[in-house]
A and B are shown apart, each in its own frame.
Chain A
Amino acid sequence: MKGRHILIFAIFIAIALFYTMGEEALMVPYYILRSLLRMTSAYILTLIFSLTFGILIAHNERAFRILFPVMDILQSIPVLGFVPFAMFFLITVFPGFGTEIVSIFLIFTSMTWAVLFNIVEGVKTIPSYIKDISKMNNIKGLNYLFHVVLPALYPPLISGSVTGWGGAWYFLVVGEYLIFADNIYILSGIGSFISKSAYSGDMVLSLLGIGVLAVVVLSINRFVWQPLLFRARKYSYGCQETYIESGESAVLALENAYREGVKEKLTKSKFFSSFFGKLFSFLGISPYSKIKKEETLSLSFLALLFIILVGLGSFIAYETSEFVEGWMVLSYSLRTIIRIIIAYLLALFWTLAVALSIARNKELLRMLMPIFDVGQSIPAVAVFPIIVVIVIQVFGGGLGIEIASVFLIMTGTQWYLLFNLIRAIRSIPGEILDLSKIMRLNTSQRLRNIIIPAIIPAIIIGSVEAIGGGLNATIVSEYIVYKDQVFYTEGLGYMMAEGAALGDSTAIILSVISMMLIVLLVNKFVWKRMLEKVERYSFGEGHG
């Protein structure tokens, strides 16, 4: 996607906005600015949080044992599960700008995990020769951080950021339109613009909102992430990114400023050098640090036990809830799980088909990637009106809502799968594909014997994210507001949304905990097991 094309698209959207909204269209740039400020603040928090903890976890055995499971559990909390409590707390503590903080916090929780886990993985995959070089040249403290760790983490940091940032657009809509106990807090921004249009059932405005979002997403990808990804390729040990358009921009100037400003100043300063030198040696952040693998299981299970206890506590508090009753949690969980499995299978089916047919075609990929990037950012809320008008109108109340909610869950599920699959198919070594040609395998033999086994790890990793994303999406998929009318279908997402609307904390806690349990159990007993089984398939470096 060239800058020129984005500009033409932007002008088109602007004209359409003026045509439909008149003078009010002038507010849109302001909305964009506010949303970008929120996203950027959340991203800065993400950087600080995930670099600090990522580097610590990857170097310090004790931190790894304690913090890694904690992070693993925290990431299973549905993004919107924090909201009611954050609202309750922050709005009473900071009456003026509490909602702003809640909103930034919500966006932060939606982007930070992708970055954090990428960083931990990134430190683990720093080649051992780099650690040897650092040991032999006695590189430690700030020198180790700035000359070895941070540059080595650059590629995983950037690719994690692209995933995290891309996923966060999806939640911006909810983050700018907060609902708690009969109160609705609307923060100006492009997200609330979309949700207002969607809730009021204005299809044209919703579509225009998506258009504006698309312009912003495309511009940021083109002028921020693409140049950074391009630079990251220079930093990497030869891995392949999905698709990278080259380019230089102001971002790289910013990066150079970091190099000269922060890095040089800090490493030269006696005070900081000795302070960080001591701090890092205390924390064990050095080329000598070694993490003995695993045995985090027991701690996770302790935490699980804790969650279960809290859950039981709320269970007993049933009496106080006007909403929760009987075996509701179980039956709702079951319904949600079935919906998610259907959405996941559908998503897997189409993404696999698409990824297989386009991933190796550079031209097609160049054309389609920007569309997928925009697709990922389109929030479920924005497609409510279309869904309601088409699906519910056609299939009627019961079945229609059911179909609509599966479709909406897919919007939170499919992109993780698609991006992981494309990346994996692209990184199958060319020799292996050549081999299949020499051996004259036909398409189905090639798929069964070569391509599918090669991408199974990526399918599993994508599935972990997809199921998490799907659960997150249920909150806006099982509870749809259209022209001030609520359409819902029973499930955990509905329970949380309704709980928030009623201010019923028992309902919220129970739905959050059920979702966490689902994520943790599925990760532990399905995906982890599968990953262990297929680990030996990978093209990773051997030993010896």
Chain B
Amino acid sequence: MVKLQINEIVKNYEVDSKTINVLDKVKFSINESESVVIVGPSGCGKTILIRIIAGLETPDSGEVILNNKKISGPDPNVMLVFQSSSLLPWRTVLENVELSLLDKEDEERRETALRYIDLVGLDGFEGSYPRELSNGMRQRVDIARALCREPEVLLMDEPFSMLDPLSANNLRNEVLRIFMDENGPIESMITITHNIEEAVIMADRILVMSQRPSRIIADVEVDLPYPRNRRGRKFNDLIDKITSLITL
């Protein structure tokens, strides 16, 4: 079943009265319970693409279709985790997570928020302020805030790039665990990264974007069982393949 369709998205920017064509008819689709990772050279428009899918930017043409319905603007079923932590400095961890549940009743809001704080491994830090947390912990709060809306599609823009390798690895595994959980909140997931190994660890499919004006130039299945063994031959072959596609 197709969950999300990205239809011929075009995005241009006007810089010094010159038009830069950033996205040139980007087109792909994502199935239910699929984890898709998008890789591409720096500056090719990955962030813009995912912000368009999240409804934060409007494309110049093309459309985003969720469950066969065109979406315009932010949709409660699509949630984006930003590249760097985006917590409000004046709210505690709990209050930050609760921010995405303001429409719920007090009781339910608190209970849901606590459950997701627990889920991302921040039990005991509900009352801390963002400035008191490490980068990794802040990113966990961001993820909890996105998850607690139980979005059908979770979008993540280089979610682990600000973390040290060890915490990145841990958090990545947690996210994968939550995603794999049959009863878990999310159905499909799009992750952006420039770390090819990360792409192979996380993806059912890897989409490769070209230089500007960018489009999808390759769509690679990753047919490996989770959790993935980083030293397998197939794993390494895939890394080589994606690397050669990007530097093409």
Do A and B originate from a single complex? yes
- Tell me whether B86 and A151 are in contact (CB under 8 A): no
Determine the distance from Cα of A138 to Cα of B79 in the docked complex, in whole angstroms: 11
> What count of chain B residues pass the 8 Å CB interface test?
21
Mark contacts of A439-465 with chain B using CB atoms, 8 A cut-off: 1 yes-contact digit, 0 otherwise: 000000000000000000000000000
Considering only CB atoms, which chain A residue lies closest to B54 in the complex? Answer: A136
Chain B neighbourhood of A237, CB < 8 A? 89
Asked whether any CB of chain B lies closer than 8 Å to the CB of A269, the reply is no
> How many angstroms between the C-alpha atoms of A147 and B91 in the bound complex?
9
A517 located at the interface, meaning its Cβ lies under 8 Å from any Cβ of chain B in the complex = no
A236 to B100, CA, bound (A): 21
Q: Would A236 and B89 count as touching, CB distance under 8 A?
A: yes
* CB–CB B90/A129 < 8 A: no
Task: Say whether A132 faces chain B, with CB atoms less than 8 Å apart.
Answer: yes
Residues of B112-140 at the interface with A, using a CB-CB cut-off of 8 Å, are 129, 131
- Cα A282 to Cα B170 with chains together (Å): 47
Residues of A near B55 (CB, < 8 A) are 135-136
Instruction: Verify if A485 is at the interface (C-beta below 8 Å from B).
Output: no
For residue B96, which residue of chain A has the nearest CB?
A133
The residue that A147 contacts in the complex, of B79, B102, B103, with Cβ under 8 A, is B102
Q: Are A139 and B102 in contact (CB under 8 A)?
A: yes
Interface residues of B in 44-82 (CB under 8 A from A): 54-56, 73-74, 76, 79-80, 82
- Interface members, chain A 119-139 (any B CB < 8 Å): 129-130, 132-133, 135-139
Question: In the complex, are the beta carbons of B102 and A151 less than 8 A apart?
Answer: no
Shortest distance between the CB of B152 and any CB in chain A (Å): 14
- Residue among B73, B79, B89, B149 making CB contact with A235, cutoff 8 Å: B89
Question: Known contacts being A129-B82, A132-B56, A234-B129, is A137 close to B89, with CB within 8 Å?
Answer: no
Closest CB of chain A to B80's CB: distance in Å?
6
Residue ID in chain A nearest B85 by CB atoms: A129
Contact B103 A151 (CB under 8 A): no
Measured in the bound complex, the distance between the Cα atoms of B86 and A136 in whole Å is 12
Does B162 reach chain A (CB closer than 8 Å)?
Answer: no
Closest residue of chain A to B73, judged by CB? Answer: A135
Do A138 and B86 touch across chains, with their CB atoms under 8 A apart? no
A151 to B55 alpha-carbon distance, docked (Å): 25
Give chain A residues whose Cβ lies under 8 Å from the Cβ of B89. Answer: 234-237
Whether B129 contacts A136 by the Cβ 8 Å rule is no
CB < 8 Å neighbour of A136 from B74, B88, B90, B103: B74
- Asked if B88 and A137 sit within 8 Å, CB to CB, the answer is no
Q: B2: CB under 8 A from chain A?
A: no
Bound-state CA distance A138–B74 (Å) is 8
Mask: chain A, 124-162; 1 = CB below 8 Å from B; 0 = not: 000001101101111100010001100110100000000
Kindly state whether residue B99 has any CB partner on chain A within 8 Å: yes
Most B CB within 10 A of own CB, among A147, A148, A234: A147
With A234-B89, A237-B89 already in contact, the answer to whether A133 and B99 are too (CB < 8 A) is yes
Indicate if the CB atoms of A135 and B56 lie closer than 8 Å.
Answer: yes
Residue pair A234, B74 in contact (C-beta under 8 Å): no
| B88 with A133: CB separation less than 8 A | yes
Closest beta carbon of chain A to B241's beta carbon, Å? 30
Is the CB–CB distance between A138 and B103 below 8 Å? yes
Q: How far is the CB of A135 from chain B (nearest CB, A)?
A: 5
CB-based nearest B residue for A232: B90
**A 217-236 to B, binary, CB cutoff 8 A, 1 in contact else 0:** 00000000000000000111
Chain B neighbourhood of A148, CB < 8 A: 88
| Complex contact B99–A136 (CB within 8 A) | no
Find out whether the CB atom of A130 lies under 8 angstroms from the CB atom of B102.
no
In the complex, what residue of chain A is closest to B102 when comparing beta carbons?
A143
Chain B residues within 8 Å of A135, by CB: 55-56, 73-74
C-alpha spacing A139/B99, complex, angstroms: 8
Chain A positions within 8 Å of B79 at CB level: 136
B170–chain A nearest beta-carbon distance, Å:
24
Q: Which residues of chain A are near B100, meaning CB under 8 Å?
A: 136-137
CB interface residues, A 144-190, toward B, < 8 Å: 147-148, 151-152, 154
CB distance from A228 to the nearest CB of B (A): 13
Instruction: Give Cα distance in the complex from A234 to B76, angstroms.
Output: 30
Interface centre among B76, B80, B88, B129 (most CB of A within 10 A): B88
| Complex Cα–Cα for A129 and B86 (A) | 6
Separation of A136 and B100 alpha carbons in the complex (Å): 8
**Cα distance, A132 to B50, chains bound together (Å):** 13
A235 to B82, CA, bound (A): 21
Residues of B within 8 A of A136 (CB): 54-56, 74, 79-80, 100
User: A130 touching B86 by the CB < 8 A rule?
Assistant: yes
Q: Check A132 against B90 for contact (C-beta < 8 Å).
A: no
Q: Which residues of A contact B99 (CB under 8 A)?
A: 133, 137, 139, 147
Q: Compute how far the CA of A283 lies from the CA of B79 in the bound complex, rounded to whole angstroms.
A: 28
Query: What is the distance, in angstroms, from B108's C-beta to the closest C-beta of chain A?
Result: 15
Most buried by B among A129, A136, A138, A148: A136
19 A-B pairs within 8 Å (CB atoms) are namely A129-B86, A132-B56, A132-B82, A133-B88, A136-B55, A137-B74, A137-B99, A137-B100, A138-B74, A138-B76, A139-B99, A151-B90, A152-B88, A154-B90, A234-B90, A234-B129, A235-B89, A235-B90, A236-B89
Q: Which residues from chain B sit less than 8 Å from chain A, CB to CB?
A: 54-56, 73-74, 76, 79-80, 82, 86, 88-91, 99-100, 102-103, 129, 131, 149
- What 13 new A-B contacts, CB under 8 Å, besides A132-B80, A133-B88, A237-B89? A132-B82, A135-B74, A136-B56, A136-B79, A136-B80, A137-B100, A137-B102, A139-B99, A148-B88, A151-B90, A234-B129, A234-B131, A235-B89
Across the A-B interface, give the 5 residue pairs with the lowest CB-CB distance, nearest first.
A129-B86, A235-B90, A151-B90, A137-B100, A136-B74
